[in-house]
C-alpha cells in the first residue's frame, strides 16, 4: 500500500471535498461552493504545509474515518472533536503523521458542526471549473464521500508547520450576524425591519450548505406580489413565504424569486458554518462596506 490515496472507512453524515470554491461562474448558474468555515480550512492546510487552495475534507457533526494507503501528515481543525489513529488519541489542531494502513478517525463534534481534515498534498480529485469542491446544489465536483470510496492525494508539499498555539475561534453560543440592508428591504414593513434587528431567532435543523435556516417570528411583507427571479449573492438574507429568514451559504442558488431583506457580511459566515441547530441568532443591520 504505497500509492498516494486513501480509502473511506466511515463516510459520516455528510463529508465532502472542499477547497476555495469556483468563483466567477454565477452567470452560468454555478454557485461558489467551497469550505463553509474558510479560516478553519486554511488553518488545516497551513498545518500540513499545503497552500490555502488545497482540497480538504469537510465533515458534518459526526466526522469520518479514512485509511491512508501511504504515510501522510494530516491535521484536523474546525469543530473540536476527538481524533484517533487505530484507536489511539492524537492531537487536534496540530500536524499528525499517519502510517500507511492505519485508520484515522475524526470523531463527533464536541461543539460546532463542521471539522476539516487536511492531508499533506491535498485531496487530488479531478477539478471541475477550476475547483475540486463538492457542490450539493448543482452536483458539480466529486460526490459526497461514501464508505469504500478511494480518493487520490497530491504530492507531499514539504514540512508541516508546528506551533505552540494555533488561532482558533470557538463555535458560537450566540450567532451575531452583521448585515447591510438588502435590495428588497422596501418589500417589508417597518415592523419587519425592527423584528429582524431585535428578535432572537434560532438555527433550524433544516440548515445545510445551501442556507442557514432560522426559526423565529415571521417577517411581515409590505408588498405581496410576485418577484421576478434575480441574482443572489453569498450571505443574502432571503425571506420565503413563511416569513422566516434564510441566510445563503456557499452552495446557494445563483438566482431566486423571494425578496432579499439584508445581506450578511462575509466575515461572519464562518461562524454561521459552526452554529449548531438551536443556537440563538441575532441580526445587526448596519450601513457601510460589506467586507468590513
| Residue 52 maps to a domain | yes
CA 92 from chain centre, in angstroms, equals 19
pLDDT at 166: 63
- Say if residue 192's pLDDT is above 80: yes
Which residue range is the domain that position 85 belongs to?
5-152
pLDDT at 101: 97
Q: Check whether residue 11 and residue 125 sit in a common domain.
A: yes
Q: Check whether residue 119 and residue 246 sit in a common domain.
A: no
Q: Check whether residue 18 and residue 146 sit in a common domain.
A: yes
DSSP letter string over 231-251? E--TTEEE--TT---EEE-TT
d(CA 277, CA 203): 5
pLDDT at 184: 94
pLDDT at 160: 74
Q: Check whether residue 22 and residue 147 sit in a common domain.
A: yes
pLDDT at 288: 56
- Say if residue 179's pLDDT is above 50: yes
Sign of CA dihedral 120, 125, 131, 135: negative
- Say if residue 188's pLDDT is above 60: yes
- pLDDT, tens digit, 9 for 90 and up, residues 209-241: 999 999 999 999 999 877 888 999 999 999 999
- pLDDT, tens digit, 9 for 90 and up, residues 39-73: 999 999 999 999 989 999 999 999 999 999 999 99
Q: Check whether residue 135 and residue 271 sit in a common domain.
A: no
CATH of the domain at 262: 2.40.100.10
Q: Check whether residue 105 and residue 242 sit in a common domain.
A: no
- pLDDT, tens digit, 9 for 90 and up, residues 142-161: 999 999 999 999 987 767 76
Percent of the chain with pLDDT over 90: 83
* Mean pLDDT confidence for 164-192: 86
- Say if residue 1's pLDDT is above 50: no
Q: Check whether residue 280 and residue 179 sit in a common domain.
A: yes
* Number of CB atoms found within 10 A of residue 181's CB: 16
- Between these two residues, 263 and 162, which has the higher pLDDT value? 263
pLDDT at 29: 83
pLDDT at 291: 44
pLDDT averaged over the chain? 92
Helix (H) or strand (E) segment spanning residue 190: helix 190-198
Among 71-80, 115-124, 168-177, the range scoring the smallest mean pLDDT is: 168-177
Amino acid at each position: 500500500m504505497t500509492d498516494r490515496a486513501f480509502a473511506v472507512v466511515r463516510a459520516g453524515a455528510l463529508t465532502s471535498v472542499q477547497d476555495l470554491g469556483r468563483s466567477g461562474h454565477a452567470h452560468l448558474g454555478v454557485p461558489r461552493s467551497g469550505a463553509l468555515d474558510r479560516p478553519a480550512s486554511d488553518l488545516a492546510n497551513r498545518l500540513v504545509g499545503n497552500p490555502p487552495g488545497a482540497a480538504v475534507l469537510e465533515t458534518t457533526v459526526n466526522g469520518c474515518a479514512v485509511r491512508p494507503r501511504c504515510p501522510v501528515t494530516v491535521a484536523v481543525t474546525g469543530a473540536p472533536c476527538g481524533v484517533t489513529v487505530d484507536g489511539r488519541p492524537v492531537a487536534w489542531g496540530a500536524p499528525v503523521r499517519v502510517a500507511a494502513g492505519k485508520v484515522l478517525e475524526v470523531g463527533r463534534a464536541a461543539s460546532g458542526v463542521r471539522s476539516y481534515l487536511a492531508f499533506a498534498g491535498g485531496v487530488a480529485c479531478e477539478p471541475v471549473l477550476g475547483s475540486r469542491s463538492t457542490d450539493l446544489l448543482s452536483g458539480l465536483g466529486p460526490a459526497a464521500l461514501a464508505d469504500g470510496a478511494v480518493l487520490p492525494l497530491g504530492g507531499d508539499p514539504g514540512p508541516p508547520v508546528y506551533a505552540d498555539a494555533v488561532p482558533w475561534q470557538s463555535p458560537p453560543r450566540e450567532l451575531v450576524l452583521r448585515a447591510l440592508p438588502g435590495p428588497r428591504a422596501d418589500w417589508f414593513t417597518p415592523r419587519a425591519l425592527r423584528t429582524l434587528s431585535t428578535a432572537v431567532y434560532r438555527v433550524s435543523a433544516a440548515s445545510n450548505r445551501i442556507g442557514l435556516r432560522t426559526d423565529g417570528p415571521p417577517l411581515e411583507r409590505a408588498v405581496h406580489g410576485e418577484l421576478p427571479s434575480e441574482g443572489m449573492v453569498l450571505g443574502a438574507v432571503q425571506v420565503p413565504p413563511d416569513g422566516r429568514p434564510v441566510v445563503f451559504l456557499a452552495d446557494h442558488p445563483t438566482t431566486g424569486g423571494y425578496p432579499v431583506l439584508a445581506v450578511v457580511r462575509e466575515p461572519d459566515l464562518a461562524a454561521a458554518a459552526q452554529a449548531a441547530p438551536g443556537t440563538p441568532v441575532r441580526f445587526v443591520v448596519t450601513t457601510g462596506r460589506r467586507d468590513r
